[in-house]
Amino acid sequence: MKTIVLLFVFAIAIATSHGFDLDHGIDNNMDSPKLRSFSRNHYDYDITCSSWRLGVEANNIIRFKTIPAKCKDYIRNYLLGDQSRADIKAVLSEAYSYAKSLDIIKAGNYTWVFDIDETLLSNVEYYADRGFGTIPHNATAFNKWIEKGKLPALPHSLKLYNKLLALDIKIAIITERPETQRKITVKNLRNVGYLKYDKIIFKDTTKGIYKGKTTLVYKSVERKKLEKEGFRIIGNIGDQWSDILGTSRAVRSFKLPNPLFYVA
Ligand SMILES: *[C@@H]1O[C@H](CO)[C@@H](O)[C@H](O)[C@H]1NC(C)=O
Ligand SMILES: *[C@@H]1O[C@H](CO)[C@@H](O)[C@H](O)[C@H]1NC(C)=O
Ligand SMILES: [Mg+2]
């Protein structure tokens, strides 16, 4: 009897140790038998990881250090398959439609802001080598990779970049990369086809003004400076919400997909 009571207490302890379980008491078979006949059970695994990815893209899931280990293959397939390319293309086609719809005057200082990593250039190769986001960020290893200056362009971003230039829109690049990586970054950008821009802003880490500040704050301050110089920010593209939210926002901002990591 004592053992049974103990087991019972133990079972309750386990059940409650998971904290707030949203599934508890919910009948997950709400669909009608007809709807259920359309569902394919072998998608269950993907649905969990695609819900996670949707949560990340919608800025509901934040501050994650690594992706869920069980989603490694899902993220690999997403990034290396057609879906990621299609998602990126959809975002950038929309951005171009918007830019084209504007009445651009050459002297009007119409400006488009771009982020670099995972926006103009891709680090997918680096993350492929390091478990597709399942391993915590290693700044030393990442900087080593950046210093090689061998990042490829995101093909659709390069295309949009050239189309914006053809529309007489100015380009401003704001990156989280530090001043010390300016030379290799400019070289890398040039080598893959990003030749012309009016501004390229690196994070000044020497004066300490951005010490302890988030990317969201840093990029907001730099956009404000651009505005004061006469740039009119009509568009902004980044792979993190911190690239595009905050103050001095663009008239329209575009979020590229990035299921690999989170930057506040
Ligand atoms: C981070 O990367 C560096 C350089 O590749 C390596 O020497 C170091 O062991 C790594 N640190 C961790 C915690 O994995
Ligand atoms: C464009 O920017 C220049 C300085 O970069 C500024 O003098 C000028 O007033 C700006 N023009 C407009 C229309 O904002
Ligand atoms: Mg980025």
Per-residue three-class SS string for 59-112: CCCCCCCCCCHHHHHHHHHHHHCHHHHHHHHHHHHHHHHHHHHCCCCHHHCEEE
> Which of 137, 138, 142 has most ligand 1 atoms within 8 Å of its beta carbon, as the pocket-test mutant?
138
Render pLDDT for 235-249 as a digit per residue (tens, 0 to 9).
Answer: 999 999 999 999 999
Determine contact, residues 259/231, Cβ cutoff 8 Å: no
Q: Whose CA is nearest to atom 12 of ligand 1?
A: 138
What atom in ligand 2 is closest to the CA of residue 109?
A: 1
Percent of the chain with pLDDT over 90: 77
The closest of 256, 153, 244, 238 to 195, measured between CA atoms, is 153
With both helix axes pointing from N to C terminus, report the angle between 139-147 and 182-192 in degrees, rounded to the nearest 10. Answer: 50
Tokens (6 digits) for 102: 């504007």
The closest of 206, 188, 115 to 146, measured between CA atoms, is 188
| Helix (H/G/I), strand (E/B), else coil: 215 | helix
Q: Rounded mean pLDDT of 194-201?
A: 98
Domains of the chain as residue ranges with CATH? 2-44 (no CATH), 53-255 (3.40.50.1000)
Instruction: Give the pLDDT band (50/70/90) at residue 37.
Output: low
Render pLDDT for 92-104 as a digit per residue (tens, 0 to 9).
Answer: 999 999 999 999 9
- Residue 40 clears pLDDT 60, i.e. is over it: no
